[in-house]
Structure 1
């Protein structure tokens, strides 16, 4: 947690990954992020993984450091209250993140009736408004066709929701960009972020679209081999599987020295008329000649004996390990200052991250837990919307809003 965005008030009306992760990143940089949730929780409130008591670790993971207002979004009065909250006054307010439909009750036109300069970041599936999830976009852009082993024709979906996470991060960037522009020109804006556009643009940015449009065939499945450079998984004598990548000339030379296969590789270079140290693409092109040399070399050595030379020579490698082992790795979780153990609403105490970026010049603040649904209903209605205590009480009595435990 840092205080770079202290003073900003962002309202979030979103479920699943992209929208809530956008709000999470803003909160971790110091913004006050206020969620409005349906009374009893929204559609992602009980998503797996769950604790033994049924609390969603997924939900409390994505909603750390936020406030929660519980509203009956099925009622006209509740919907009107959500619109007022999204477009609430204040120089550093009127900032809204949502994945509600563009033409629904939270349309940009409805928000502008309350506040002309409101800024809305709207996460979508497809740009035409049709629904989509990360998995359905991923298959459409062709990534599963490139993933998996070459001897298995089945497409492989990646379990990491990459387009959701990229969209959330892009949304935080887009919102702060629109805010800077508003401070200069006084205008509000709606930024629409379809997952499909984020996915399509990302593949184009990596050169893949230009490649196939230039006549190249679709990229084949390569298992764990790295496209366009030297990299693959190898198994050591003691049964450790590592991922090894050599992109730079220094990495390549250090790898050959560690494994003692410089002469064997030089023989291949002489045979094919290439210098692998000078061109990473040539290492990829001749990988079928090189991989057996490396398989043999790794099979003759234990990992522990290679690590000191790997580190001294700048070799880039990583060990394959399950998450249960990774959480004990001090470079990743336990011992990493990005993480701190706190108690979440589920009652479970575990490591949670603050801001993933580190600012050496600023003090890192402790992460805050996720809210309980409706935990901040009264506080927000009184302080942000300026309602009287009597009006807040009437909304409770009418079932329009609720506090925690409702």
Structure 2
């Protein structure tokens, strides 16, 4: 018996945060039904590259789900969905605040139909506050939460994060955590609840150390000024002679001693507290003197907290990743398959099916009005 067997989820969300939360839930045994726009469906279906009729992105995020196509603006949309809502445990939506209410699908209305409903709203800024209606994307949330300012070089120019940090770390994961907590609470009370997931709010936890420095000591970190933002030679990315990169994190003294010995750093620079900039430059010169393969061999099996920077293609073929079998499951779309997203659910709690398909748009629309 999977932990979420018997739990039904209606997912009104599109693109990334909500669909990924739904993916985690379906992999743990829940029945997840996507509510999609007729004709086009989830915008993610249109992305490239293609896998079958839809995009590979869509397939990865919607493995094992079902799909209902319905025009939510139709006068009878709520009536068509009522029988499903009565038998639903969790609803996920990520429209701007007020949209679901205008459609007649707000929490106040649906909780009267189903008092046990857990209603999870994912937005950029939450259901209240002066920015609640502001249009924004991942990069904007990072900017407003202060995190983007910490990615810069020592001149302070912010770096471009090439992954969806806010969507996943501050949207998907908090949504999943709160849904699971709400299900536990409902076991005790019999009542559902409204969950307000603000991606910008939830980003602040990622800067816990900066908040500690700022609130307790008034030492608000900036790019290049703190241990993990570029000030220290002990937490840096160094370029090798052939254009590769070494990620070096020998923060603790025992690791730093090993690191300095392995790269043969000048003894005068090993007490980096005296002149961090000089030590940083000295380490950079040593790493730049030899190619990537040399440093890979030097640090192999050593306790120095160092790793060569891999590209994504190299990372998925790494012997450790292969041994862990994290890409052994697959998602199919028609006759095509690709490795499934390795969701962070332990094998003991996850559906063991090796291959699951992504849903065709509207394939389960027969559930509407049937009470199925």
Matched-pair contact (CA < 8 Å) for 2:29–2:350: no
- In structure 1, the residue matched to 2:24 is 25
Partners of 1:246 and 1:291 lie apart in 2 by: 13
1:172 aligns with 2:176: yes
Q: SS in structure 1 opposite 2:356?
A: coil
The correspondence of residues 261-280 of structure 1 with structure 2, limited to 5 A, is 261=265, 263-266=267-270, 269=271
- In structure 1, the residue matched to 2:288 is 299
- In structure 2, the residue matched to 1:216 is 219
- In structure 2, the residue matched to 1:259 is 263
Structure 1 residues 143 and 83: alpha-carbon distance in aligned structure 2, compared to 1, 3 A threshold:
farther
Matched-pair contact (CA < 8 Å) for 1:242–1:320: yes
Structure 1 residues 16 and 297: alpha-carbon distance in aligned structure 2, compared to 1, 3 A threshold:
same
Cα distance, 1:245 vs. partner?
A: 1.1
Matched-pair contact (CA < 8 Å) for 2:239–2:288: yes
Partners of 2:351 and 2:124 lie apart in 1 by: 38
1:190 aligns with 2:197: no
1:113 aligns with 2:112: yes
Structure 1 residues 326 and 347: alpha-carbon distance in aligned structure 2, compared to 1, 3 A threshold:
farther
Q: Structure 2 regions of 5+ residues with no counterpart?
A: none
**Bigger shift: residues 62-71 or 257-266:** 257-266
Structure 1 residues 262 and 365: alpha-carbon distance in aligned structure 2, compared to 1, 3 A threshold:
farther
What TM-score does the superposition give when structure 2 sets the normalisation length? 0.84
Matched-pair contact (CA < 8 Å) for 2:33–2:68: yes
The correspondence of residues 316-395 of structure 1 with structure 2, limited to 5 A, is 316-332=305-321, 336-340=324-328, 342=330, 344-345=332-333, 347-359=335-347, 364-378=352-366, 382=370, 385-386=371-372
Deviations for 1:74-124, whole angstroms, at most 9, x for unmatched residues?
A: 212223334543x332xxx42111113443322111111211121111112
Cα distance, 1:176 vs. partner?
A: 1.0
Q: SS in structure 1 opposite 2:366?
A: helix
Cα distance, 1:316 vs. partner?
A: 1.9
Partners of 1:81 and 1:261 lie apart in 2 by: 71
Matched-pair contact (CA < 8 Å) for 1:341–1:349: no
Task: Point out 4+ residue stretches in structure 1 off by more than 6 angstroms.
Answer: 222-225, 360-363
Partners of 2:349 and 2:30 lie apart in 1 by: 19
Structure showing greater radius of gyration is 1
Q: Structure 1 regions of 5+ residues with no counterpart?
A: 270-275, 277-281, 387-406
Deviations for 1:212-249, whole angstroms, at most 9, x for unmatched residues?
A: 68533551357997456512122334443221111233
Deviations for 1:363-400, whole angstroms, at most 9, x for unmatched residues?
A: 85425221111122225754xx14xxxxxxxxxxxxxx
Structure 1 residues 150 and 249: alpha-carbon distance in aligned structure 2, compared to 1, 3 A threshold:
closer
Q: SS in structure 1 opposite 2:340?
A: strand
- In structure 1, the residue matched to 2:91 is 96
Partners of 2:4 and 2:346 lie apart in 1 by: 15
Matched-pair contact (CA < 8 Å) for 1:138–1:144: yes
Q: 2:279 aligns with which of 278, 286, 290?
A: 290
Partners of 2:44 and 2:111 lie apart in 1 by: 29
- In structure 2, the residue matched to 1:206 is 209
Cα distance, 1:251 vs. partner?
A: 2.0
Partners of 1:35 and 1:362 lie apart in 2 by: 20
Matched-pair contact (CA < 8 Å) for 2:167–2:199: yes
What TM-score does the superposition give when structure 1 sets the normalisation length? 0.77
- In structure 2, the residue matched to 1:400 is none
- In structure 1, the residue matched to 2:48 is 49
Cα distance, 1:193 vs. partner?
A: 0.5
Q: SS in structure 2 opposite 1:355?
A: coil
